[in-house]
Amino acid sequence: MLLPVDLTAEQVIDRINTQIRLNAADAGDFVQRTRIDSLEHHSDGWCRWLAAYLPGPPGTFPTAITETQQHRDQLSDRTAPLKT
Residue 36 is assigned to a structural domain of this protein:
yes
pLDDT in tens, 1-28: 899 999 998 999 999 999 999 999 888 8
* Residue 67 domain-assigned (yes or no): yes
Q: Is 8 contained in some domain? A: yes
Q: How confident is the model at residue 32 (pLDDT cuts 50, 70, 90)?
A: confident
* In a domain? residue 6: yes
Paired residues of 55 in beta bridges: 31
Q: Enter the DSSP assignment of 82.
A: G
Per the structure, the complete domain to which residue 71 belongs is given by 2-79
**Pairwise pLDDT comparison (76 vs 77), residue with the higher score:** 76
**With 0-12 CB in 10 A as exposed, 13-18 as middle and 19+ as buried, what is 84?**
exposed
Q: What is the pLDDT of residue 51?
A: 92
On the question of pLDDT at 55 being above 80, the answer is: yes
Structural domain tally of the chain?
A: 1
Residue 17 and residue 53: Cα distance in Å, rounded? 9
Positions of E strands within the chain? 2-4, 30-43, 46-56
11 part of a folded domain: yes
- Provide the mean pLDDT of the chain: 79
